[in-house]
Structure 1
Amino acid sequence: MSLPRRALVAAGAVTAALALAACGSGATGASAELAPAKGSTAPNGAVVNLTADQKRVTTPKVDAVAALVPEEIRKRGTLTVVDAIGTTPPLDFYANDDRTIIGVEPDVASLIGDVLGLKVEFNPVSWENIFVGLDSGKYDVGISNITVTEARKEKYDFATYRLDVLGFEARKGSGLKVAGAKDLAGRSVGVASGTNQEKLLISWSEENVRNGLKPIDIKYFQGTEFYLALSSGRIDAYVGPNPSLSFHAVQTGETEVVGTYSGGGADVLGKIAATTRKDNGLVKALNGALNEVIGNGTYAQVLKRWGLDNEAVPTSEVNPPGLPKPKP
């Protein structure tokens, strides 16, 4: 059983790239081909259910937390969740029916809906339209691997639910190990423009030059073509959200993650959060729901089924320190 047509693009010996949208400012792409006949294997060895019949982890409604939901949403009975178009395993992608969005993000959203007693309505859009929809009030909450940043905190409230970890993927056996800027000096590294990972690469390149080392040769990719560049040796590595890269590496067996780094940079532990329009009254309910599922163990079950155990947070925080604003 392979991924659906809209989420799959074959490209020579290497399958098409995973989309890298969420933790930065948006990129597009397609998911990797999943080799096993009846499912895919996550990095932790779990077999991933690719069907529309997800048998999602569920949890009971908690009246005290549900009471925190703004009256308008309670009366409506639905929680409108916006996420990036579903092509990013294991974050969000289409099941083999080409319609049902599955992944860790829909699972987390569903748990929140359970606790709040609300039916979750998924609305897949392009990355930039997540924020357009939140700004206009069209959607209640964005659950799409969105990183907390200081700039975004001026317009949005956040309730955290996962660590933001970036990964560096290279061909297996390349010998490359990435722990910091100097490891990429003089290397050709791919990235999606307008993302947090692009900001990291630029700052690392500048750091290398200040230290008398070669700059990083940054190559930009907005779609699936970067894996061809990686397989052919035109780039030494690609940087993006670690969940996607780790998942892809397991499927192909031809690449590996050769380093990870906080999506918040050296000074801030990057965190992924449910995102809602600032001061609309919803963030306390989201925070309460997340802490409920963290406490009752259903949150851990969701992360485990998608191979993201190592990105769990011990508690949900409201508006923690985020990725700093760029220096003038």
Structure 2
Amino acid sequence: MGILQNRKLLAAGAMAAMVFGASATFAADAFDLSPEQTNRLRVEKNDKRIAEVPADFKFVQDGALTIGISTSGHLPLHDYASDSKTVIGYDVDLAQALADSLGRDLQLVSVAWADWPLGLVSGKFDAVISNVTVTEERKEKFDFSTYRKDELGFYVKADSSIQAIKAPKDIAGLKVITDAGTNQEKILLEWDRQNLAAGLSAIEVQYYDDDAVKDLAVQSGRADVVFSVNATQAYSAAINGKTKLVGTVSGGWPISAEIAVTTRKGSGLAEPLTGVINDLIASGDYRKILETWKLGPEAIEKAQTNPPGLPKSGS
């Protein structure tokens, strides 16, 4: 498959640290990273959706919508603000709009990715907004209200001659960075298999643990393309202007996949939340929230409750 394992060198790490430091300065200019979040969109109470919440639904806190959310550093989705204690990002802005619509205060609870299922089932929060993809296996235990495409993006150096990547043939012979043990790696290796079967050149797959070193590899020409989560790459491109998007693929390729607000199975909260999201789509507020964090390409046309999800392994 032409797989090349790359290891970080001390010199590369030092140079990457300088790149990362510069990017942090640009981030403050391109996005509001303050704890005040004065530009955060607020919406009016939605009496229709409030009436749809089952009368017997027990919110974790009176007068609040409690959301479990990751606080790890993955802007534009979620991270700490410049005060290192206030959580900001697209996920927070969406959570605020949902809380406003239901006439409730927003209460955030930090939760590690591995812990959100237990936290939700045990009643620590009313819902989870933490980049959770709808899958058939998860639907057995949880309900979902979709709000964003699960998109993977191909990014190249800003002045690269590569203009578009839409199909396997477009990456034949290229040096492509991706993430080990992920859906994007599976997709990339399948595209490589198809290319080889068609007599095209093999992809050279590269792996890096450090985003700054990954960026340095692209800027220096040691790699042609980065194939990874679109949201975080879009953020990076927006703050430093050194890379550009040349194509997207669903995280569930060859089928589509969507990210969703996750609630307890059968709690009755999913349908009202789906309705709120569709109302935000209709009003244009949904798009405004996405654009605040440069996530316009990940917009969905309609929110759905428990749509078909990614199939179980082996099915």
Same fold (TM over 0.5): yes
Counterpart residue number, 1:93: 79
Matched, 1:174 2:160: yes
Q: Which amino acid aligns with 1:52?
A: P
Matched, 1:64 2:48: yes
Instruction: Name the CA shift for 1:185/1:151 in 2 (closer, same or farther; >3 Å).
Output: farther
1:14-163 matches, cutoff 5 A: 14-15=19-20, 32-35=23-26, 39-41=28-30, 48-55=31-38, 56-70=40-54, 71-73=57-59, 76-163=62-149
Matched, 1:291 2:278: yes
Q: For the residues of structure 2 that align with 1:277 and 1:210, how far apart are their CA atoms?
A: 45
Counterpart residue number, 1:4: none
User: Which one is further off, 108-117 or 133-142?
Assistant: 133-142
The superposition leaves residues 131-174 of structure 1 with CA deviations (integer Å, 9 ceiling, x where unpaired) of 34234433322212322233332332211112222211222333
Instruction: Name the CA shift for 1:91/1:66 in 2 (closer, same or farther; >3 Å).
Output: same
User: Which one is further off, 151-160 or 221-230?
Assistant: 221-230
Q: For the residues of structure 2 that align with 1:182 and 1:133, how far apart are their CA atoms?
A: 44
Matched, 1:267 2:251: no
Partner SS, residue 266 of structure 1: coil
Q: For the residues of structure 2 that align with 1:133 and 1:222, how far apart are their CA atoms?
A: 29
Instruction: Compute the displacement of 1:249 (Å).
Output: 1.5
* Pick aligned residue for 1:202 from 189, 199, 208: 189
Q: For the residues of structure 2 that align with 1:124 and 1:75, how far apart are their CA atoms?
A: 16
Counterpart residue number, 1:250: 238
- Structure 2 gap ranges (5+): 1-13
Instruction: Name the CA shift for 1:208/1:325 in 2 (closer, same or farther; >3 Å).
Output: farther
Q: Which amino acid aligns with 1:120?
A: L
Instruction: Compute the displacement of 1:74 (Å).
Output: 7.4
The superposition leaves residues 226-267 of structure 1 with CA deviations (integer Å, 9 ceiling, x where unpaired) of 223333444322222222212211322222222222223133
Q: For the residues of structure 1 that align with 2:188 and 2:300, how far apart are their CA atoms?
A: 26
Report the aligned-residue RMSD. 2.7
Instruction: Compute the displacement of 1:182 (Å).
Output: 2.0
8 A contact 1:159–1:318 mirrored in 2: yes
- Structure 1 gap ranges (5+): 1-8, 17-30, 42-47
Instruction: Compute the displacement of 1:12 (Å).
Output: 4.4
Counterpart residue number, 1:19: none
Q: Which amino acid aligns with 1:148?
A: V
Q: For the residues of structure 2 that align with 1:319 and 1:261, how far apart are their CA atoms?
A: 22
Partner SS, residue 11 of structure 1: helix
Q: For the residues of structure 2 that align with 1:151 and 1:207, how far apart are their CA atoms?
A: 28
Structure of greater Rg: 2
Q: For the residues of structure 1 that align with 2:154 and 2:138, how far apart are their CA atoms?
A: 25
Instruction: Compute the displacement of 1:109 (Å).
Output: 0.6
Instruction: Name the CA shift for 1:265/1:301 in 2 (closer, same or farther; >3 Å).
Output: same
* Pick aligned residue for 2:204 from 217, 226, 243: 217
User: Which one is further off, 109-118 or 127-136?
Assistant: 127-136
Counterpart residue number, 2:217: 229
The superposition leaves residues 84-126 of structure 1 with CA deviations (integer Å, 9 ceiling, x where unpaired) of 2242222222221111111211111111011112222222333
Identity %: 39
Q: For the residues of structure 2 that align with 1:181 and 1:325, how far apart are their CA atoms?
A: 24
8 A contact 1:86–1:101 mirrored in 2: no
Normalising by structure 1, report the TM-score: 0.79
Q: For the residues of structure 2 that align with 1:127 and 1:222, how far apart are their CA atoms?
A: 19
For these two proteins, the number of residue pairs brought into alignment is 297
Q: For the residues of structure 2 that align with 1:209 and 1:325, how far apart are their CA atoms?
A: 27
Counterpart residue number, 1:193: 180
Q: Which amino acid aligns with 1:35?
A: F
Q: For the residues of structure 2 that align with 1:196 and 1:276, how far apart are their CA atoms?
A: 24
Instruction: Name the CA shift for 1:247/1:321 in 2 (closer, same or farther; >3 Å).
Output: same
8 A contact 2:60–2:123 mirrored in 1: no
Counterpart residue number, 1:279: 266
Q: For the residues of structure 2 that align with 1:242 and 1:282, how far apart are their CA atoms?
A: 29
Instruction: Compute the displacement of 1:72 (Å).
Output: 0.9
Q: For the residues of structure 2 that align with 1:140 and 1:191, how far apart are their CA atoms?
A: 34
Q: For the residues of structure 2 that align with 1:185 and 1:236, how far apart are their CA atoms?
A: 11
Q: For the residues of structure 1 that align with 2:143 and 2:125, how far apart are their CA atoms?
A: 14
Q: For the residues of structure 2 that align with 1:75 and 1:135, how far apart are their CA atoms?
A: 16
